[in-house]
Amino acid sequence: MNAAYEFVPGGFLSFDNEMDMADNSAKWYLVYDGVAPEDQRDIDFDKVYCAVMMKEKFGLKMVALGKNRTQSGKEQLGTHDEDGKDIGGGRKLDFKTRQQAALRKMYAWCMKNGWGEFSGACDKIMRRAGGKVIDPQKLIDAGVFAGKQVKVLDGGYYERLIGGQMHKKIALGSVEL
């Protein structure tokens, strides 16, 4: 996950460390090459195309997402998703194409089953995946940002303080208010 947030100002802020992430995330959604093992301790992370971590906060809130950037992952990943379905529709696909298909599948699931705060390219990607804009004033009124400094902007956007800096965000998906 650290590699996925390498270019994000402030880096990976959702959890303090790997143990905190394991202990305090409510759900992980992985797109896995082949059938994922039943016991999470048996997961071969080189076979994970992409992953999202979610916390319980007014439903499932996406707090981290990333894709496999390792060389060993690129060499090992095959052509089937976690349901054993061929993600290439029978065509021989390169790693990047298979991973993009896996990401689209994960994004669509996340927007249907949870919500998140996004900015920049992720905003556009999640909208293409079916993400519906959540009115920031409704989030404020429901106490989602309790104790946090939030300024509502036009178009569903808002600014809030994260890591000591104001960040422009938009909430997308399915929230439980």
Task: Write out pLDDT tens, residues 110-169.
Answer: 999 999 999 988 999 999 999 999 999 999 999 999 999 999 999 999 999 987 889 999
Q: How confident is the model at residue 62 (pLDDT cuts 50, 70, 90)?
A: very high
Distance CA 30, CA 169 (A): 25
Residue 72 has pLDDT above 90, yes or no: no
Neighbours of 14 (CB within 10 A): 17
pLDDT at 135: 97
Distance CA 26, CA 124 (A): 25
In this prediction the pTM is 0.78
